[in-house]
Amino acid sequence: MIRTRVGYTGGTKSDPVYHALGDHSEAVELDYDPAVITYQELLATFFAGHDATRPAVSRQYISAVFYHDAEQQRLAVEAKTALERKLGETVHTEIVPASTFYLAEDYHQKYGLQGDRLVMDEYRRMYPDFWDIVDSTSATRANAYLYGYGTAERLRSELDSLGLSKEAEGRLLSRVE
């Protein structure tokens, strides 16, 4: 199981919102099962998913790993250092202690999924409560595929577990093929 929620962290302002972030950064909070995916694998996915050599244009959009304990800090620093060696460039990712995480507004959660009426309507039927959609591993996976992340091969291997119609499955496949 992986649960992802979008929000804001790393700053000092209480109760930030998108149009009044203060010194917070946009972030994703991950709950995961380390028996299914390791912290090192999450770090590898994080670094592969963006260009960490580009300096941030603002505090809102920094590249950062917010760690919860000394072991996570050590692994994040190791991953950053290894990437710098591999690329021969400075990696601008900050490695900082986790602080209070504030949930972003509803319209930011599963943004790709919310932008696809067909697939989102199916999740609404499965989960009448919006936050159950947000917390659904299936919805998290569908959201990623709607953004074009993942391979067609991987999606085909997990289609049966998503609980979607053939039409919605076809929509997801069209995003990764």
- For 170, phi and psi rounded to 5 degrees? -65, -40
Find all residues with CB under 8 Å of 153, minimum gap 6, and list them.
none
Domain residue spans of the chain: 2-103, 110-176
What pLDDT is stored for residue 149 in this prediction?
Answer: 86
Per-run averaged pLDDT (10 residues), the chain, 177 residues: 88 94 94 92 93 94 96 98 97 96 96 96 96 94 90 94 95 91
Topology at the third CATH level for domain 2-103: Peptide Methionine Sulfoxide Reductase; Chain A (3.30.1060)
What pLDDT is stored for residue 24 in this prediction?
Answer: 95
What pLDDT is stored for residue 1 in this prediction?
Answer: 67
What pLDDT is stored for residue 120 in this prediction?
Answer: 97
pTM: 0.86
**Half-sphere exposure of residue 156: CA atoms within 13 angstroms, side-chain side:** 6
- The two three-digit tokens of residue 17, written as one number: 């919102």
